Chain A
Amino acid sequence: MAEKKLDYMNIPAEKFEFVNHGERISDKAFEDKPIGYFKDAWIRFCKNKASVVALVIIVFVVLYAFLMPIFNTTVDPTFLASYYDRMAPRHTALREYGIMDGGVNRNFSEVSLLTKVGIGVGAADYEGKGDKSVKDGLESEYQPMLNVGNVIEKATGRRNKGKEIIDRTYPGRIDTYLELGFMYQSIQQSELKNIQAWEEETGLKVLYPLVEANEYNPAVGTTEEANIWYKANKSYVPMITGDNGKVKALESPFYSADLVIEDNYKRDGEGNPIYWEYTGGGSHETAQLKIRVLYYNYYYYQNGHEPNYLFGTDSQGYDLSLRMADGIKLSLLVAVCVSVINFIIGAMWGAVSGYYGGTTDIVMQRITDILGGVPFMVVATLFQIHLATKVGAIPSLLFAFVVTGWLGTAARVRTQFYRFKNQEYIMAARTLGARDRRIIWKHIFPNSLGTLITSSALVIPGVINQESMLSYLGIVKLGTSDATSLGTLLSDASKIWTDHPHLMIFPALVLSLLMICFNLFGNGLRDAFNPSLRGVEE
Chain B
Amino acid sequence: MSDKGRMFKYILKRLFLMIFTLFIITAIMFVLIKLLPRELPMEKVKREVMEARWRALGHYDPIPVQFGIYLKNIFTKLDFGTSWYIEYNQPALEVLTKRLLPTVLVNLYSLIFSIPIGLALGILAAVKKNKWQDSLISTLVMVFVSVPSYVYAFIVQYTFYFKLDWLPVGMYALADAGNSYWTWKMFTSMILPILSLSFGEIAGLCRFTRAELTETLTSDYMLLARTKGLSRSQATVRHAMKNAMVPILPMLISSFIGILGGSMIIEGVFSIPGVGRLYIQSIQQLDYDVFMTDGIFYTFIGLLASIVVDISYGFIDPRIRMGEK
A interface with B by C-beta (< 8 Å)? 50, 366, 369-370, 372-375, 377-378, 381-382, 385-386, 461, 465, 468-469, 472-475, 490, 494, 497-498, 501, 504, 508, 511-512, 515-516, 518-520, 523
Specify which chain A residues have a CB less than 8 angstroms from the CB of B147 in the assembled complex: 512, 515-516
Residue pair A378, B280 in contact (C-beta under 8 Å): no
What are 27 A-to-B residue pairs whose CB atoms are below 8 Å? A50-B142, A366-B17, A369-B17, A370-B24, A372-B306, A373-B18, A373-B22, A373-B302, A373-B303, A373-B306, A377-B298, A381-B291, A382-B33, A385-B36, A385-B283, A469-B265, A474-B280, A475-B283, A494-B150, A494-B269, A497-B154, A498-B158, A498-B162, A501-B158, A512-B147, A515-B148, A519-B145
| Cα distance, A396 to B17, chains bound together (Å) | 30
Given known contacts A373-B22, A473-B264, A490 and B150 CB-to-CB distance under 8 angstroms: yes
Please list the 8 inter-chain residue pairs (A to B) with the smallest Cβ-Cβ separation, ordered nearest first: A515-B146, A516-B146, A375-B298, A373-B21, A378-B295, A512-B147, A508-B151, A370-B21
Specify which chain A residues have a CB less than 8 angstroms from the CB of B154 in the assembled complex: 494, 497, 504, 508
How does the 8 Å CB contact mask read for B21-36 relative to A, with 1 for contact and 0 for none?
1101100010011011
Excluding A370-B21, A378-B29, A519-B146, 11 further A-B contacts by CB distance (< 8 Å) are A375-B295, A386-B36, A465-B148, A475-B283, A494-B154, A497-B154, A508-B151, A512-B143, A515-B146, A515-B147, A520-B142
Q: In the assembled complex, how far is the CB of residue A218 from the closest CB belonging to chain B, in whole angstroms?
A: 41
Residue pair A373, B279 in contact (C-beta under 8 Å): no
| Cα distance, A475 to B268, chains bound together (Å) | 13
Specify which chain A residues have a CB less than 8 angstroms from the CB of B312 in the assembled complex: none
Specify which chain A residues have a CB less than 8 angstroms from the CB of B24 in the assembled complex: 370
| Cα distance, A373 to B22, chains bound together (Å) | 8
| Cα distance, A498 to B142, chains bound together (Å) | 28
Q: In the assembled complex, how far is the CB of residue B129 from the closest CB belonging to chain A, in whole angstroms?
A: 13
Residue pair B268, A473 in contact (C-beta under 8 Å): yes
Interface residues of B in 31-81 (CB under 8 A from A): 32-33, 35-36
Interface residues of B in 263-279 (CB under 8 A from A): 264-265, 268-269, 279
Judged by a CB distance under 8 angstroms, whether B133 is at the interface is: no
Q: In the assembled complex, how far is the CB of residue A315 from the closest CB belonging to chain B, in whole angstroms?
A: 16
Residue on B with the closest CB to A366? B17
Interface residues of B in 5-28 (CB under 8 A from A): 17-18, 20-22, 24-25
B interface with A by C-beta (< 8 Å)? 17-18, 20-22, 24-25, 29, 32-33, 35-36, 142-143, 145-148, 150-151, 154, 158, 162, 264-265, 268-269, 279-280, 283-284, 291, 295, 298-299, 302-303, 306
Residue on B with the closest CB to A464? B148
Residue pair A378, B264 in contact (C-beta under 8 Å): no
Residue pair A473, B145 in contact (C-beta under 8 Å): no
Residue on B with the closest CB to A381? B283
Q: Which of A374, A465, A475, A515 contacts B25 (CB 8 A)?
A: A374
Residue pair A382, B148 in contact (C-beta under 8 Å): no
| Cα distance, A519 to B283, chains bound together (Å) | 31
| Cα distance, A498 to B162, chains bound together (Å) | 8
Q: In the assembled complex, how far is the CB of residue B216 from the closest CB belonging to chain A, in whole angstroms?
A: 16
Residue pair A512, B25 in contact (C-beta under 8 Å): no
| Cα distance, A497 to B32, chains bound together (Å) | 37
Q: In the assembled complex, how far is the CB of residue A172 from the closest CB belonging to chain B, in whole angstroms?
A: 20
Specify which chain A residues have a CB less than 8 angstroms from the CB of B306 in the assembled complex: 372-373
Q: In the assembled complex, how far is the CB of residue B164 from the closest CB belonging to chain A, in whole angstroms?
A: 14
Residue on A with the closest CB to B32? A382
Q: In the assembled complex, how far is the CB of residue B28 from the closest CB belonging to chain A, in whole angstroms?
A: 8
Residue pair B21, A516 in contact (C-beta under 8 Å): no
| Cα distance, A295 to B212, chains bound together (Å) | 63
Q: Which of B142, B151, B279, B295 contacts A519 (CB 8 A)?
A: B142
Residue pair A374, B148 in contact (C-beta under 8 Å): no
Q: In the assembled complex, how far is the CB of residue B258 from the closest CB belonging to chain A, in whole angstroms?
A: 12
| Cα distance, A523 to B139, chains bound together (Å) | 12
| Cα distance, A515 to B146, chains bound together (Å) | 5
Residue on B with the closest CB to A512? B147
| Cα distance, A529 to B21, chains bound together (Å) | 36
Residue on A with the closest CB to B279? A377
Q: In the assembled complex, how far is the CB of residue A351 from the closest CB belonging to chain B, in whole angstroms?
A: 23
Given known contacts A373-B299, A375-B299, A469 and B148 CB-to-CB distance under 8 angstroms: yes
Residue pair B150, A374 in contact (C-beta under 8 Å): no
Specify which chain B residues have a CB less than 8 angstroms from the CB of A370 in the assembled complex: 20-21, 24-25
Q: In the assembled complex, how far is the CB of residue B152 from the closest CB belonging to chain A, in whole angstroms?
A: 10
| Cα distance, A184 to B295, chains bound together (Å) | 54
| Cα distance, A520 to B207, chains bound together (Å) | 13
Residue pair B303, A516 in contact (C-beta under 8 Å): no
Specify which chain A residues have a CB less than 8 angstroms from the CB of B146 in the assembled complex: 461, 512, 515-516, 518-519
Residue on A with the closest CB to B36? A385
Q: Which of B32, B148, B264, B295 has the most CB of A within 10 A?
A: B148
| Cα distance, A160 to B35, chains bound together (Å) | 69
| Cα distance, A508 to B21, chains bound together (Å) | 38
Residue pair B148, A512 in contact (C-beta under 8 Å): yes
Residue on B with the closest CB to A514? B146
| Cα distance, A494 to B269, chains bound together (Å) | 8
Q: In the assembled complex, how far is the CB of residue A371 from the closest CB belonging to chain B, in whole angstroms?
A: 9
Residue on A with the closest CB to B150? A472
| Cα distance, A385 to B36, chains bound together (Å) | 8
Q: Which of B18, B20, B151 contacts A512 (CB 8 A)?
A: B151
Q: Which of A378, A468, A516, A520 has the most CB of B within 10 A?
A: A378
Residue on B with the closest CB to A520? B142
Residue pair B143, A516 in contact (C-beta under 8 Å): yes
Specify which chain B residues have a CB less than 8 angstroms from the CB of A501 in the assembled complex: 158
Residue pair A369, B148 in contact (C-beta under 8 Å): no
Specify which chain B residues have a CB less than 8 angstroms from the CB of A465 in the assembled complex: 148
Specify which chain A residues have a CB less than 8 angstroms from the CB of B279 in the assembled complex: 377
Specify which chain B residues have a CB less than 8 angstroms from the CB of A473 in the assembled complex: 264-265, 268, 280
Q: In the assembled complex, how far is the CB of residue B156 from the closest CB belonging to chain A, in whole angstroms?
A: 13
Q: Which of A50, A372, A373, A465 has the most CB of B within 10 A?
A: A373
| Cα distance, A373 to B20, chains bound together (Å) | 11
Specify which chain B residues have a CB less than 8 angstroms from the CB of A504 in the assembled complex: 154
| Cα distance, A33 to B148, chains bound together (Å) | 44
Q: Which of B21, B33, B150, B295 contacts A369 (CB 8 A)?
A: B21
Residue on A with the closest CB to B303? A373
Q: In the assembled complex, how far is the CB of residue A324 from the closest CB belonging to chain B, in whole angstroms?
A: 15
Q: In the assembled complex, how far is the CB of residue A6 from the closest CB belonging to chain B, in whole angstroms?
A: 60
Residue on B with the closest CB to A501? B158
Residue on B with the closest CB to A370? B21
| Cα distance, A385 to B35, chains bound together (Å) | 11
| Cα distance, A519 to B207, chains bound together (Å) | 13
Residue pair A511, B148 in contact (C-beta under 8 Å): yes
Q: In the assembled complex, how far is the CB of residue A163 from the closest CB belonging to chain B, in whole angstroms?
A: 34
Specify which chain B residues have a CB less than 8 angstroms from the CB of A512 in the assembled complex: 143, 146-148, 151
| Cα distance, A168 to B150, chains bound together (Å) | 39
Q: In the assembled complex, how far is the CB of residue A48 from the closest CB belonging to chain B, in whole angstroms?
A: 12
Q: In the assembled complex, how far is the CB of residue B224 from the closest CB belonging to chain A, in whole angstroms?
A: 22
Residue on B with the closest CB to A497? B154
